[in-house]
Amino acid sequence: MAGKAEKLEYAWIALVVVMLTIFLGILGYAVIGEGYSAPEDAVTCNVKKLEEQITPGVKEVAPGVYEVDIVARMWAWQPNEIVLENPKKVIFRITSADVQHGFEIVGTNVNFMVFPGYIAEITWYPPSDAEGEFLIVCNEYCGLGHQNMYGKLIIIRS
Ligand SMILES: [Cu+2]
């Protein structure tokens, strides 16, 4: 005969099995039913040969369309100041030369993580009233000088 303590133990085991079944069921449904998966088109890069894959700077590829390549490293953005004239579409390509960083343009919806070994690419359509100076901060703690890691985005409208 099972004692009261033993019964409780079986009850806890059953609870754990039920929870795991629910968890794995949800996970399985997300993968098979909804088609969720890890990104397969992630762009990787070699941290030791960054200059071959990314050239920090701003390029205007069409009127109002900019490509901004950025390298993040402890504790600065390269380039640290970005100037855009009448931007309609901005494509940021950012990677890290050392540790994980977070690229955020304060007051906008641009906010994403930057990992060494990967080139993060996002497209931003700045609102037509976005003008003036915007603060760029690193929002992932990246070491002793983290609080000094900030830059500037200047949008000029004419
Ligand atoms: Cu940081």
Are both 67 and 142 inside the same structural domain? Answer: yes
pLDDT higher than 80, residue 10: yes
Residue 131 maps to which CATH number? 2.60.40.420
Task: Please tell me the pTM assigned to this model.
Answer: 0.74
| Ligand 1 mean position, distance from CA 69 (Å) | 18
pLDDT tens readout for residues 101-157? 999 999 999 999 999 999 999 999 999 999 999 999 999 999 999 999 999 999 999
Q: What is the pLDDT of residue 1?
A: 60
Q: Are 113 and 123 in contact (CB under 8 A)?
A: no
pLDDT value of residue 43:
84
Q: Are residues 32 and 77 in the same domain?
A: no
Whether residue 145 sits in one domain with residue 95: yes
Q: Is 122 found in the same domain as 75? A: yes
Rounded to whole angstroms, the Cα distance separating 114 from 54 reads: 14
Measure 12 CA to ligand 1 centroid, in angstroms. 43
Give the count of domains, the chain.
2
Residue 138 CA to ligand 1 centre (angstroms) = 4
Give the span between the Cα atoms of 86 and 136, in whole angstroms.
Answer: 19
Rounded to the nearest angstrom, the distance between the alpha carbon of 114 and the centre of ligand 1 is 10
**Domain encompassing residue 69:** 43-156
Q: What local confidence, expressed as pLDDT, does residue 135 receive?
A: 96
CA of residue 145 to ligand 1 center, whole Å = 8
Q: Is the same domain home to 92 and 142?
A: yes
Tell me the per-residue pLDDT of 43-74, one tens digit each, with 9 for 90 and over. 888 888 888 888 999 999 999 999 999 999 99
| Beta strand ranges found along 86-129 (DSSP E) | 89-96, 101-105, 111-114, 118-124
Taking only the tens place, the pLDDT of each residue in 70-101 is: 999 999 999 999 999 999 999 999 999 999 99
List all residues 6 or more positions away from 25 whose beta carbon is below 8 Å from its beta carbon. Answer: none
Residue 60 and residue 18 share a domain? no
Q: Could you tell me the distance, in angstroms and rounded to a whole number, from the CA of residue 136 to the centre of ligand 1?
A: 11
Ligand 1 geometric centre to CA of 102 (Å): 6
Output the CA 60–ligand 1 centroid distance in Å.
28
